[in-house]
Structure 1
Amino acid sequence: MTVLTPSPIHSDPEVMGGTLVFRNTRVSTQTLLDYLDDGFSLEEFLDNFPSVDRQDALAFLGHKNLEK
């Protein structure tokens, strides 16, 4: 039996114009990428955006790494 897990990323035209956000938040995935590009750690991002679940952020980053 296959168990489906909810996606950590959500897009809804009614939420931030359809921008990709972490589920159950209004925090865009681009915000995380910008933080990391600016030299901040994942911990600093999570401290500043406590509504983002750690596992969701890690899943998103893992997916981004697979795209390379």
Structure 2
Amino acid sequence: MKSWVTQSSRDDGVDGVVVNEDPVMGGVCIIQAKRYKGPVSPNDVRALAGSIEDMRACKWILVTTSWVVLVADG
């Protein structure tokens, strides 16, 4: 696997990227870290989802010092 940390600005919310080049089990995994005292908002999760789509990632990891608040639509 190959991995790297993105630059702190203009990273589209992605803090790290891991690429597994295995043709069967491989793919791109993006990592986002949030250092918050309050909850990670649904908007932050939506932004991560957009990054997943933009980078065509098959996996993702959200790391936080806090907690995540998810609200179901509808």
TM-score, scaled relative to structure 2: 0.29
Identify which of structures 1 and 2 has the higher relative contact order when contacts are C-alpha pairs closer than 8 Å and 6+ apart.
2
| Structure (1 or 2) with the greater strand fraction | 2
Higher share in helix: 1
